[in-house]
């Protein structure tokens, strides 16, 4: 099929939509992505990109069209302008483009407003429109911008319902989202749970296959890889590290990546002299991350406790399972349910550093047989639930029609 993919974020930004598009091309589809100028998560345009640079390009058989947008910066006002600019540019593109596509697929991580150009194009060309929901609005916009004005939130709610109403299929990255959207008055019949898969380069590796040297082998190693933003709630790591230091436990967190909260966290670690318990590693190519997991005792996942965190199922969870690494969670809701169902790790309640430190202490004492079993169960859970080709087959069967 000739597909138009709407995603405000795309290569060289690291989102799984990159892989989805590449795989659809391999399966014989013609894929064009309408996106923005890359600036996530740093908040400024990537080197080599700009209003007059690389506005169109081709990557792995995917045609890329980049709309002019305002970079997201590092404050709520710039973030709002970033969201609005994509919609405004998208409106004119959808209204005047001469390009024809058979179907529109909207990849909706925040902002949900990015769906509008896809809906406007689909209405104009009278083609099927599908949306993949990975972030809930208006809850997310309230958290990101601290907006509490009832009039504004009412308008955002109207916008959200307009988007859901005008999409033919609503895919969700967590099962909890289906209940949330249904309560808004939308038909469950047009919804489908489609978890985020992990790319095929996420594989279990042996330590000797890894070239990673930063990790201290004499310590219990806990690795987090991904965006170091405020939504992740990684300040729990600092609070937990204080307890680990007080107990003199030989455990250490490794936080791999960049993001809006990184510098603030680094300052806290430095202030409390926790360098022996928390180490920051710069953003790495996604293909290299399995080497870190091969050296990890556990992979860490957490979210800041808020009104929607218990409904979210982050993509990194699939990556952890794919690499067959035991998982340590500090979360509620669907994350906790999935970890417990997999039997491949442990999860304590969100926002509780005392419980997290206690769980780490217990994990340090586990026998080798238990670790081997958890690694096997982790990989098995991936193959049964998050394997790439399995989920792409389902996508083609249920959505591309």
> What pLDDT is attached to residue 208?
74
Half-sphere exposure (Cβ direction) of 328: Cα atoms closer than 13 Å: 27
- Please name every residue paired with 256 in a beta bridge, in sequence order, or none if there are none: 225, 281
35 and 166 part of one domain: yes
Residues 144 and 247 in one domain: no
What pTM was computed for the model?
0.85
The position carrying tokens 């860490």 is 300
214 and 176 belong to one structural domain? no
The whole-angstrom separation of Cα 204 and Cα 216 is 20
Same domain, 107 and 215: no
138 and 240, same structural domain? no
Residue 382 makes CB contacts below 8 A (sequence gap 6+) with: 198, 318, 321, 322, 324
**222 and 159 within one domain:** no
- Round to whole Å and give the CA distance between 112 and 137: 7
Residue 35 lies in a domain: yes
In a domain, 214, yes or no: yes
**Residue 300's pLDDT is what?**
97
Query: Please, which residues bridge with residue 57 across strands?
Result: 64
Q: What is the Cα–Cα distance from 39 to 68, expressed in whole angstroms?
A: 12
Say yes or no: 221 and 181 in one domain: no
Number of H helices, E strands in the chain: 14, 14
> Do residue 238 and residue 171 come from a single domain?
no
Q: Tokens 């309640």 identify what position?
A: 349
Query: At 321, phi and psi to the nearest 5?
Result: -60, -40
**Does residue 148 lie within any of the structural domains?**
yes
Q: Evaluate whether residue 124 is within a structural domain.
A: yes
> Which residues in 376-401 are b (16+ Cβ under 10 Å) and which e?
ebbbebbeebbbbeebbeebeeebbe
CB under 8 Å, gap of 24 or more: what pairs does 96-102 form? 97/121, 99/4, 99/32, 100/2, 100/125, 101/2, 101/3, 101/4, 101/32, 101/125, 101/127, 102/1, 102/2, 102/3, 102/127, 102/128
The predicted structure's pLDDT at residue 145: 67
> 82 and 44 in one domain?
yes
Q: How many domains does the chain have?
A: 2
**Residue 83 domain-assigned (yes or no):** yes
Co-location of 97 and 26 in the same domain:
yes
Query: Distance between CA 396 and CA 394 in Å, rounded?
Result: 6
32: helix, coil or strand? strand
Q: Judge if 51 and 82 occupy the same domain.
A: yes
In this structure, the answer to whether residues 223 and 347 fall within a common structural domain is yes
Indicate whether 84 belongs to any domain: yes
Please give the span between the terminal C-alpha atoms of the chain, in angstroms, as a whole number.
Answer: 9
Q: Residue 357 maps to which CATH number?
A: 3.40.50.2000
Q: Say how far residue 322 (Cα) sits from the centre of its chain.
A: 15
Mind listing the pLDDT tens digit of every residue in the chain (401 residues)?
Answer: 999 999 999 999 989 999 999 999 999 999 999 999 999 988 999 999 999 999 999 999 999 999 999 999 988 889 889 999 999 999 999 999 999 999 999 999 988 999 999 999 999 999 999 999 998 888 887 776 677 788 888 998 999 999 999 999 999 999 999 999 999 999 999 999 999 998 889 999 887 777 787 788 889 999 999 889 888 889 999 999 999 999 999 999 999 998 888 999 999 999 999 999 999 999 998 899 999 999 999 999 998 887 788 898 988 999 999 999 999 999 999 999 999 999 999 999 999 999 999 999 999 999 999 999 999 999 999 999 999 999 999 999 999 87
Query: How high is the pLDDT of residue 57?
Result: 96
Could you give the CA distance from residue 118 to residue 93 in angstroms, rounded to a whole number? 10
| Predicted pLDDT at 10 | 97
Distance CA 94, CA 101 (A): 12
Lookup: tokens for 339: 């970890």
Residue pair 169/131 in contact by the 8 Å Cβ criterion: yes
Instruction: Dig out the tokens for 234 from the structure.
Output: 């990684």
3-state secondary structure 128-190: EEEEEECCCCCHHHHHHHCCCCHHHHHHHHHHHHHHHHCCCEEEECCHHHHHHHHHCCCCHHH
Confirm whether 112 is domain-assigned. yes
28 lies in a domain? Answer: yes
Residue 346: which domain range? 207-385
């Amino acid at each position: 099929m000739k597909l138009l993919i709407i995603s405000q974020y795309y290569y060289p930004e690291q989102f799984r939509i990159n892989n989805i598009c590449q795989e659809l091309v391999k399966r014989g589809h013609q894929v064009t992505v309408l996106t923005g100028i890359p600036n996530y998560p740093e908040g400024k345009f990537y080197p080599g990109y700009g209003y007059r640079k690389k506005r169109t390009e081709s990557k792995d058989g995917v045609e890329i069209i980049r709309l002019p947008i305002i970079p997201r910066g590092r404050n709520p006002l710039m973030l709002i302008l970033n969201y609005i600019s994509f919609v405004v540019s998208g409106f004119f593109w959808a209204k005047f483009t001469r390009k024809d596509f058979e179907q529109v697929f909207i990849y909706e991580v925040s902002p949900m407003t990015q769906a509008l150009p896809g809906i406007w194009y689909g209405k104009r060309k009278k083609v099927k429109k599908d949306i993949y929901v990975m972030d809930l609005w208006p809850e997310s916009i309230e958290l990101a911008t601290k907006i509490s004005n009832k009039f504004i939130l009412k308008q955002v709610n109207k916008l959200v319902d307009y988007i859901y109403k005008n999409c033919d299929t609503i895919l969700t990255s967590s099962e909890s989202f289906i209940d949330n959207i249904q309560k808004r008055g939308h038909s469950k019949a047009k919804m489908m749970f489609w978890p985020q898969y992990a790319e095929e380069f996420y594989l279990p590796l042996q330590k000797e296959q890894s070239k990673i040297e930063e990790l201290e082998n004499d310590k219990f190693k806990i690795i987090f890889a991904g965006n170091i933003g405020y939504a992740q709630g990684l300040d729990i790591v600092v609070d937990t590290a204080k307890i680990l230091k007080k107990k003199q436990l030989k455990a250490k967190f490794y936080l791999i990546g960049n993001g809006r909260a990184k510098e603030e966290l680094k300052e806290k670690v430095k202030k409390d002299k926790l360098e022996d318990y928390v180490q920051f590693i710069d953003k790495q190519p996604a293909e290299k991350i399995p080497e870190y997991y091969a050296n990890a005792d556990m992979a860490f996942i957490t979210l800041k406790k808020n009104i929607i965190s218990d409904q979210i199922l982050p993509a990194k969870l699939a990556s952890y399972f794919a690499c067959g690494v035991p998982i340590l969670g500090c979360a509620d809701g669907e994350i906790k349910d999935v970890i417990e169902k997999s039997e491949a790790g442990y999860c304590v309640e969100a926002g509780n550093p005392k419980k997290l430190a206690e769980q780490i202490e217990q994990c340090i004492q586990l026998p080798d047989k238990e670790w081997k079993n958890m690694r096997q169960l982790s990989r098995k859970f991936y193959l049964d639930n998050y394997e790439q080709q399995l989920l792409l087959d389902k996508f083609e069967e249920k959505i591309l029609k």
